Chain A
Amino acid sequence: MENLQLILKEYIAGDRSNLIPILQHVQSDQGYISPEAITTISNHLHVSKSQIFGVASFYSQFKFNPPGRHSIKICLGTACHVQGGDFLLAALQSEIGIRPGETTEDGRFDLERVACLGCCALAPVVMIDKVIHSRVSVIKLRELLTSYE
């Protein structure tokens, strides 16, 4: 919570145009947007909680659950789709037992699908934490996962 107050100090109180940058800042610091964060932002911007949740839930970037230690993003852009991105997702879901938007029980991974990472020439691609892996196959993905604890 202290962090949250520090973050909000950087943004003028009551300036609604900063709502999305604030949400982005909070998420990069805390990993997700918690109900407490929404209340605090609401007080700072003088905008109702429902409106803040309305904006946050509109954009696919914002998460409302605590993330895992490692984030897996499966790219499902057009090039990745035609090169088998869907198959990767199917295999991965059954491998780690969660669906997009969820986190594994041991907190090791969370899973997301993204519209396009812009590395279409090297499709299919998967992003784990900040690293983009190219030309991923079901087998390669399984090997990759073993290096993340």
Chain B
Amino acid sequence: MSSFQSIQKAAREQWQALQESADPVLYLGMGSCGLASGAGEVWDQINKTIASKKLNVRILKVGCIGPCYLEPLLDIQMPGNPRYCFNNVDGKKAEKLLLDYIKNGESKIRPIGYLGNGKFPVNGLKSFWDQPMLKNQVRIVLRNCGIIDPENIYHYIARDGFKGLMRAFELGPEGVIKEVETSGLRGRGGAGFPTYLKWQLCRKSKGEKKYLICNADEGDPGAFMNRSLMEGDPFSLLEGMIIAAYAIGATDGYIYIRAEYPLAIERLKIAIQQLHNHKLLGKDIIGSGFSFDIRLKEGAGAFVCGEETALIASIEGERGMPRSRPPFPATSGVNGSPTNINNVETLATVPNILREGGTWFAGYGTKTSKGTKTFALVGKVRRTGLIEVPMGTTLRQIIYDIGGGSLKEFKAVQTGGPSGGCLSSDFLDLPVDYESLTKAGSIMGSGGLIVMDKDICMVDVAQYFLRFTSQESCGKCTPCRIGTKKMVEILEKITAGEATMEDIHLLEKVAETVHKGSLCGLGQTAPNPVLTTLKYFKEEYIKHVEEKRCPAAVCRSLVEYRVIKEKCTGCQRCVDVCPTHAITGPKSEPHNLDKSLCIKCRACYEICRFDAIAGDAIVIE
């Protein structure tokens, strides 16, 4: 038996024992989103109950399974049963569930689904994967997220982990590149460059030392696909990196990861250590003769470092500024050596391609965009979370079938982050692939999908993105440095109600110049949010300019807060919450709002809408 087979055997035995455990096993979703929803409190409560009642119960941390709106998610696996999934659990609910199941083997709290096999005593319970948010998904890269313990390499190996790497070693480097070519995999970071070609270029470059970098700087605001993947299944990324390094002949690997993701960093560190312990990383990996090691580099917060040459400068300890290409990193990257850079999702997809074959992967998707893609489905949509769908799925399927539709009347969907654009309802039947999105004026980007309803002002959204890109512009080239700033100034004029139609023409002209004249992708794509909103939502701009009015009542200079005297119950809730004491009035009498003091922060509006004794009396118009 080879050394890998013996690890595999031990891993399968451990996984099997967990499924057939004679004691109850709990699985708690403890990704960042689970923790933000209160999973930490649930964890503490369960452990307290286990200790105080001396229960024989095991509890495991798992990653995020995707539907963040159901977090915290707790699975209970009783002996012989599958995992029953419970949503929106807090400490109290968790304790009740645990005690109910221990005592009676069931609970009045109904699970929303089950995971795995076994007996099904809960009547009519469907699989968790039949949830409306999940049933139209195809999970390839996310297949382990929420299922395995991300801090236990045996779980990963038991679920066919490192089989892809073993096959890669059989195929040889050229064979690996061929397999990836067959799969049609393109870069998941946004640009969609064919992965095999990138590898081939780097493989053919001459250099004593070659580097492989994983770009985990996920800088797009509104996107968290990579975070979730690294927190839920760090091993698939590491396996993908080893395969990529083997294909191009790299000996040194870096994961450039943003410091804002402390949990992902922690899990990757643990995973790297476990790989070392099993000789799956380092010198002579599992007797193959191939040596490769991975180091983490924490990014320090600069959006431009998503650009390849800026990222390399940052790794070298410089300001993260891009340089003109050629030479491309494939010929001259880190310390002048050939360097290959891939995105997290691209690399984590690779083990699946090697394991199941390129033809299998190419069976999903469209003619030019193969396989599946993960998206962060967020904003004004009913079911928020992380999803994975075949390329070519339409925006309508994603937003309505999976996401359950927008909260209020649908207005737009933003794709591709600050480099992307806003698409109107006319584009709902657009298939999501690289070419279709680019043709519509947006981009695929890394996978953020932000749904916007009628409460969102498109001019404000354009202003938001341009403020972001102008702050993140590194300042090296003039069109980007000055151009984005000028665009922000014009947008600020529009949202303040001080602009003329002439300003809109000027905005278009500056956008064109920034697009054509900038050195790197940041500047070249920065105008996209402006250009697409001008194209598809021009009437909103015109209303801001000609009527000095913000139809969505978002732009602060153009709205006022008012108390409707007839509705006000005089409950004084708004008086308590107003940070500037702009609202006054005795109890039980209609309150008065002093507009000169009002900072339009919405505190009064929120409390008046949601508090039981308030009368929904505050309007913004």
Chain A residues packing against B (C-beta within 8 Å): 16-21, 23-24, 54-55, 58-62, 76-84, 87-88, 90-91, 94-95, 114-123, 125, 130-134, 137-139, 142
Contacts and interface: CB of A to CB of B under 8 A. Distances in A.
A120 B224 contact: yes
B557 to A, nearest CB: 13
B221 A78 contact: yes
Contacts of B316: 16-17
B384 interface: yes
Interface string B463-479: 01100100010100000
Contacts of A139: 577, 603, 606-607
Nearest to B318: A55
| Interface core residue of A55, A80, A142 (most chain B CB under 10 Å) | A55
B260 A59 contact: no
10 contacts: A18-B317, A59-B301, A78-B221, A78-B450, A90-B600, A91-B602, A116-B220, A122-B384, A138-B601, A142-B603
Interface string B208-219: 000000000011
Interface in B23-52: 32-33, 35-37, 40
A70 B358 CA distance: 51
B595 to A, nearest CB: 15
Contact of B579 (A24, A54, A91, A123): A91
B540 to A, nearest CB: 15
A115 B417 CA distance: 12
Nearest to B335: A17
Nearest to B472: A115
Interface of B: 32-33, 35-37, 40, 68-69, 71, 218-224, 227-228, 259-262, 297-303, 314-320, 376-380, 384-386, 414, 417, 448, 450, 452, 456, 461, 464-465, 468, 472, 474, 577, 579-580, 599-603, 606-607
Nearest to B227: A118
Nearest to A22: B317
A121 B68 contact: yes
Contacts of B603: 87, 91, 138-139, 142
Contacts of A18: 317
A132 to B, nearest CB: 4
Contacts of A78: 220-222, 378-379, 414, 417, 448, 450, 464-465
Contacts, number: 166
| Interface core residue of A88, A122, A123 (most chain B CB under 10 Å) | A122
A55 B261 CA distance: 21
B260 A79 contact: no
A76 B418 CA distance: 13
Contacts of A81: 221, 461, 464
A120 B317 contact: no
Contact of B606 (A59, A94, A117, A137): A137
B136 to A, nearest CB: 18
B601 A90 contact: yes
Given A58-B320, A118-B260, A125-B36, A142 B577 contact: yes
B403 to A, nearest CB: 11
Contacts of B448: 78, 120
Given A87-B601, A94-B579, A142-B577, A118 B301 contact: no
A58 to B, nearest CB: 4
Contact of B302 (A60, A79, A119): A60
Contacts of A19: 317
Given A19-B317, A137-B606, A115 B36 contact: no
B601 A134 contact: no
Contacts of A17: 315-317
B417 to A, nearest CB: 7
